Amino acid sequence: MNVLIIYAHHEPTSFTAAMKNIAVQALEADGHNVVVSDLYGQGFSAVAQKWDFVTTSGNHFNYMSEQKHAANLQMSFSPDILGEIQKLQAADTLLIISPIWWFSVPAILKGWFDRVLAMGVAWDTGKFYENGLMRGKQAMLLMAGGHPAEYYKVNGRHGANPNQILHPINHGTLAFCGFNVHEPFVALNVISANNLSREKALKDLEFRVKNIPHSPQWLTLYA
Amino acid sequence: MNVLIIYAHHEPTSFTAAMKNIAVQALEADGHNVVVSDLYGQGFSAVAQKWDFVTTSGNHFNYMSEQKHAANLQMSFSPDILGEIQKLQAADTLLIISPIWWFSVPAILKGWFDRVLAMGVAWDTGKFYENGLMRGKQAMLLMAGGHPAEYYKVNGRHGANPNQILHPINHGTLAFCGFNVHEPFVALNVISANNLSREKALKDLEFRVKNIPHSPQWLTLYA
């Protein structure tokens, strides 16, 4: 497989960093080609801006229309976006490794979705979900959350389970672009966890990563 | 009321800008005090970084712990974060006005959640949900989505309704901090809408904004 890992944590001694390191080692040991976009390390810009495009199409600035315009103009995106698009196009497997912040991803990673999964590149008019431009590629979230598992239940404090909480990413972002989305790996309770449970979680992650082609599909939970 | 509006759109001629303008006018006409954080206009930084703190507490960088550390050290956050915290503390009502991007908010607004709703400021250990530090304040989302309403159904293309899609923000972010969260205002189909339906949507928004104290509560949909 040609794997692109999008990694979003500042701290090399964090649990999220350990997840990324294990994933890279496990995949490379199996002979896969792995590229990591270390968003903090790259100083990736999160905010969708006018200067994301070499030229803009008019006076009324609509980011989505400008993405389509740039895609039509031989990919006239800013170099940082173009670099990420090229990595994405070269990959058949996208792994997103991130902490859960506010039931979602950190802004730096949300900015990667906003800027890189561009109209005309990852999806287009009439080309989304089963016709999305990323069809044929697979994607999987690997995330770490601080609260204990009992919070992440419909009747728990968080009022929803991890798959419901991650619906905007798994369904609304990845499946929308046509990715074949796998069941996410979510390590919970990582703040209070002892070393044994962290090691267990990393072993579970290694197993999931080594078996991606046989990994269960993510299913939308509301249909 | 003392209202803080967090506004996240680049384009002054956008529908989201019109939503913000109507909200400001309606509230000021009723004698309320309104402050707008125009995130794009301010050049608000979205990415949680080490330099968000005047000093950091140690070698292992954990953003949440540093927030708590800064809150304990007489609010030693970077000036841009401190400015937003002060506006938030002076407000009794928070309105968030934004487009829906990838079933969520644009990264610049996610960065506002990540950086401003800090541990020790908006919530703390054992101080979240009904004990959140923002209790006594009310909050409401006012958002614009491009796709038609029939997509936003459990059996529709998006596999979830707007309240389910916004659960990470209404529940996991605002209610978590203790805000009294109102039913969101969500204008759908704004890309294809004609002028009449846009005007209707802005009228509906005006009515909602003028009646915030009597506005229905947002209810978690899974419990």
Question: pTM for this one?
Answer: 0.97
Q: pLDDT averaged over chain B?
A: 95
Judge whether residue B193 has pLDDT over 60.
yes
**Using the beta-carbon criterion (under 8 Å), do A108 and B154 form an inter-chain contact?**
no
At residue B87 the predicted structure's pLDDT band, cuts being 50, 70 and 90, is: very high
Could you give the domains of chain B? Answer: 2-222 (3.40.50.360)
**Using the beta-carbon criterion (under 8 Å), do A110 and B107 form an inter-chain contact?**
yes
Q: Is A43 left (phi over 0), alpha (psi -120 to 50) or beta?
A: left
Distance from CA of B59 to the nearest CA of A (A): 9
Q: Count the helix, strand and coil residues of chain A and give each as a percent rounded to the nearest 5.
A: 40, 20, 40
How many CB pairs lie under 8 A apart between chains A and B? 154
A169: chain B residues, CB-CB within 8 Å: 102-103
Chain B: residue whose CA lies nearest to A156: B223
At residue A120 the predicted structure's pLDDT band, cuts being 50, 70 and 90, is: very high
Distance from CA of A110 to the nearest CA of B (A): 5
- Do strands B33-38 and B93-99 pair parallel, antiparallel, or not at all (unpaired)? unpaired
Distance from CA of A30 to the nearest CA of B (A): 31
Shortest CB distance from A173 goes to which of B102, B146, B155? B102
Q: How far apart are CA B222 and CA B168, in angstroms?
A: 12
**Using the beta-carbon criterion (under 8 Å), do B107 and A48 form an inter-chain contact?**
yes
What pLDDT is attached to residue B169? 98
**Using the beta-carbon criterion (under 8 Å), do A48 and B108 form an inter-chain contact?**
yes
Judge whether residue B158 has pLDDT over 50.
yes
At residue B220 the predicted structure's pLDDT band, cuts being 50, 70 and 90, is: low
**Using the beta-carbon criterion (under 8 Å), do B47 and A107 form an inter-chain contact?**
yes
Shortest CB distance from A103 goes to which of B10, B155, B172? B172
What pLDDT is attached to residue A223? 42
**Using the beta-carbon criterion (under 8 Å), do A159 and B61 form an inter-chain contact?**
no
Radius of gyration of chain B from its Cα atoms, rounded to whole angstroms: 18
**Using the beta-carbon criterion (under 8 Å), do B107 and A102 form an inter-chain contact?**
no
The residues of A that are catalytic are 146, 152, 158
pLDDT tens readout for residues B94-140: 999 999 999 999 999 999 999 999 999 999 999 999 999 999 999 99
Active site residue B146: yes
User: What percent of chain B is modeled with pLDDT above 70?
Assistant: 98
**Using the beta-carbon criterion (under 8 Å), do A106 and B110 form an inter-chain contact?**
yes
User: Which among A120-129, A213-222, B154-163 has the top mean pLDDT?
Assistant: A120-129
Shortest CB distance from A111 goes to which of B14, B107, B113? B107
Distance from CA of B106 to the nearest CA of A (A): 7
Using the structure block, give the residue that is written with the tokens 């803009």.
Answer: A56
- Which residues, 6+ apart, have CB-to-CB distance to B118 below 8 Å? B67, B68, B70, B71, B77, B81, B85
**What's the mean pLDDT in A33-51?**
97
Judge whether residue B223 has pLDDT over 60.
no
Distance from CA of B209 to the nearest CA of A (A): 25
Three-state DSSP class for residue B7: strand
What pLDDT is attached to residue B36? 98
Judge whether residue A222 has pLDDT over 60.
no
At residue B222 the predicted structure's pLDDT band, cuts being 50, 70 and 90, is: low
Distance from CA of B47 to the nearest CA of A (A): 6
**Mutation for testing the B interface, residue in A110, A116, A191 having most B CBs under 10 Å:** A110
**What's the mean pLDDT in A77-105?**
98
Shortest CB distance from B103 goes to which of A48, A61, A172? A172
Contact (Cβ atoms closer than 8 angstroms) between residue B60 and residue B37? no
Q: pLDDT averaged over chain A?
A: 95
pLDDT tens readout for residues B23-60: 999 999 999 999 999 999 999 999 999 999 998 888 78
pLDDT tens readout for residues A133-159: 999 999 999 999 999 999 999 899 999
**What's the mean pLDDT in A171-198?**
94
User: Among the residues of A30-143, which ranges form H helices?
Assistant: 39-42, 63-72, 79-90, 107-116
Judge whether residue A208 has pLDDT over 50.
yes
**Using the beta-carbon criterion (under 8 Å), do A102 and B154 form an inter-chain contact?**
no
At residue A85 the predicted structure's pLDDT band, cuts being 50, 70 and 90, is: very high
Three-state DSSP class for residue B144: strand
What pLDDT is attached to residue A46? 97
Which of B104, B91, B108 shows the shortest CA–CA distance to B166? B104
Residues B60, B66, B71, CA angle at the centre, nearest 5°? Answer: 160
Shortest CB distance from B114 goes to which of A101, A160, A164? A101
Q: How far apart are CA B97 and CA A142, in angstroms?
A: 30
Q: How far apart are CA A52 and CA A63, in angstroms?
A: 9
Chain B: residue whose CA lies nearest to A41: B49
What pLDDT is attached to residue A82? 98
- Which residues, 6+ apart, have CB-to-CB distance to B60 below 8 Å? A11, A13, A14
**Using the beta-carbon criterion (under 8 Å), do B222 and A160 form an inter-chain contact?**
yes
**What's the mean pLDDT in A94-120?**
98
What pLDDT is attached to residue A129? 96
Q: Which of B152, B171, B178, B182 is catalytic?
A: B152
Contact (Cβ atoms closer than 8 angstroms) between residue A8 and residue A97? yes
Chain B: residue whose CA lies nearest to A44: B47
Which residues share a beta bridge with B27? none
